[in-house]
Every structure is written in structure tokens, then in C-alpha cells.
Amino acid sequence: MPTILIVDDEQHIRLLIEQTLEELEDDGVEILTADNGAEALEIIKEARPELVFLDVMMPKMNGFDVCNTVKNDLGMKSIYIILLTAKGQEFDKEKGRECGSDLYITKPFSPKELRNKAKEILGLQ
């Protein structure tokens, strides 16, 4: 069963993304959520989701550090990580690339864009 993890410390953002992707559950996709980086890392280690929507600015562990740990320290290169952040400066985008993110999307984002990207990544088109 394909799995998506949504990580954001703001509940309304998590809920928006979850509602945006809920139609994928009809295709057998499981949706998990976390509200901080440390919790996200534990879920990633255990559930090994195919796709992670990861906020950058979070308590306990930021998204850059989570991404770097998953991609570089743990070597989980097959997990597709999309960083979602209000930080849109080129410096931040470069930091996202350096930590191993597959895509960098700035807030506000298009829910339709997220859904279409998730479908593409999971091969549900």
C-alpha cells in the first residue's frame, strides 16, 4: 500500500493537505501525519512512505534536518521528499537541494498542484 506522510506543525495546513489528498485513499493510498520533525523521522523509519510533504520551519527538528537525515544519513533515497515552506529565497531553495529534497514548493501552494504531483509520484495518473 502506497503511503504519504504529511508533516507540518500548523494543524490547518496538515488538514488542508490531507483533505486535498483524501481522494487518493480510494486508490489504496494510506495518509499519515506528524506535527514535528522528530515525530516525522520516527514515522519515516517505521512506515517508509513513498512520498513526504515536509514543512521546513517546525519544532524539535526542522524539515531541512529531517530531509538530510532521511536522504543522506539513512540513505533512503527512494523516498520522495517535497519541502513545503514560506521560505522562498534562493538561499533556502539551495539549502533544500543540498539536504536532498526532490522538490521545493513555496507557500501558499496550489492544492491541485500537490494532488497532481502526488498522483504522478505514486503512478496513479
Quick: pLDDT tens for 50-107.
999 999 999 899 999 999 999 999 999 999 999 998 877 888 889 999 999 999 999 8
User: Can you give the CATH number for the domain in which 66 is found?
Assistant: 3.40.50.2300
- Give the domain range for residue 70: 3-120
Identify residue 110 by its one-letter amino acid code: S
The residue type found at 62 is: N
Q: How many domains are contained in the chain?
A: 1
Q: Is residue 89 part of a domain?
A: yes
Is 125 contained in some domain? no
| Cell reading at 59 | 519544532
What is this structure's pTM?
Answer: 0.95
Angle between helices 111-122 and 11-21 (to 10 degrees): 60
> Does 45 reside within a domain?
yes
Residue 5, helix vs strand vs coil = strand
Q: What distances in angstroms separate CA 87 from CA 37, 94, 118, one per listed residue?
A: 17, 11, 22
Q: Is residue 53 part of a domain?
A: yes
